[in-house]
């Protein structure tokens, strides 16, 4: 093998290595750009929901939701929490408990068991809870919903009490899922 052929072959190899390194770096940069765009798309993705009986524009992203969706969830939560009879309260609170965040699930479960135990002493007790949309105050930054509602209690089908109460629902939205953190009744 001649020296000039060897040097020519060696310089071609060096050039090919430089081109391969440049190609690899370019591929790495493109992969990182794609990764960041996919991550941003996930955060910007909206899921459009149309539950039965819903009205308005309902959508949820990875960490936020439309006001109509929050109102719909508020109606669902307060119905489960405040409209009950002795025969339905246990099942309703159990269903509602599935919407509590994992961090507050155990506490809510204990609280609901105590509510059911207290109500089971009165076999003919029932309750209704009603509110208007204008009585719902939603703070999207603090992730809190405050509702002024009328609670009516019945014993053996006879109205025994009517109170206006304020309910505060704390929530969070993670990965497009509405999680309840707490439901409080303000006095």
User: What secondary structure, in 3-state letters, does 103-169 show?
Assistant: CCHHHHHHHHHHHHHHHCCCCCEEEEEECCHHHEEEECCCCEEEEEEEEEEEECCEEEEEEEEEEEE
* Angstrom distance (rounded) from CA 165 to CA 187: 7
CATH topology classification for 48-186: Nuclear Transport Factor 2; Chain: A, (3.10.450)
**pLDDT above 70 covers what percent of the chain?**
89
* Angstrom distance (rounded) from CA 38 to CA 115: 45
Q: What is the pLDDT of residue 112?
A: 94
Residue 85: helix, strand or coil by DSSP? Answer: strand
Per-residue pLDDT reduced to its tens digit, 156-175: 989 999 999 999 999 999 98
Per-residue pLDDT reduced to its tens digit, 91-144: 999 999 999 999 999 999 999 999 999 998 888 999 999 999 899 999 999 999
Per-residue pLDDT reduced to its tens digit, 29-80: 999 999 888 877 766 766 666 667 777 788 888 888 889 999 999 999 999 9
Q: Which two tokens stand for residue 159?
A: 């109205």
Domain spans of the chain, in order of start: 1-44, 48-186
């Amino acid at each position: 093998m001649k020296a000039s052929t060897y040097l020519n072959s060696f310089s071609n190899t060096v050039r090919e290595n430089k081109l391969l390194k440049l190609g690899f770096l370019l591929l790495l940069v493109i992969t990182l750009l794609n990764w960041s765009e996919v991550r941003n798309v996930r955060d910007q993705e909206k899921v459009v929901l149309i539950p039965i009986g819903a009205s308005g524009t309902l959508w949820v992203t990875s960490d936020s939701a439309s006001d109509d969706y929050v109102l719909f969830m508020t109606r669902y939560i307060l119905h489960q929490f405040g409209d009950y009879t002795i025969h339905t309260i246990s099942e309703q609170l159990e269903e509602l408990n599935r919407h509590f965040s994992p961090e507050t699930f155990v506490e809510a479960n204990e609280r609901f068991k105590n509510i059911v135990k207290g109500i089971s002493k009165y076999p003919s007790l029932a309750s209704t809870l009603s509110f208007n949309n204008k009585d719902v105050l939603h703070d999207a930054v603090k992730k809190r919903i405050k509702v002024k509602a009328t609670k009516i209690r019945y014993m053996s089908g006879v109205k025994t009490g009517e109170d206006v109460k304020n309910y505060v629902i704390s929530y969070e939205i993670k990965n497009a899922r509405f999680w309840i953190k707490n439901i409080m009744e303000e006095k």
